[in-house]
Copies of this chain bind each other. A is one copy, B any other.
Amino acid sequence: MATARQLRCYYDRHLAELDLNLSQASLLAYVAEFGPHTQTALAARMDLGRAATGTVIDQLEARGLLTRTPDPDDRRVWRIAPTPAATDVVCRIAAIDTVVRDTLRAGINRNERQELASVLVRLQENMAADQP
Contacts and interface: CB of A to CB of B under 8 A. Distances in A.
Main secondary structure of the interface of A (DSSP, over half): helix
Contacts of A123: 3, 6-7, 104, 108
A97 to B, nearest CB: 14
A127 B10 contact: yes
Total copies of this chain within the assembly = 2
A72 interface: no
Interface in A98-117: 103-108, 112-113, 115-116
B119 A6 contact: no
Contact of A4 (B3, B112, B115, B122): B3
Given A2-B47, A124-B2, A112 B107 contact: no
Nearest to A107: B122
A109 to B, nearest CB: 10
Interface in A1-45: 1-8, 10, 13
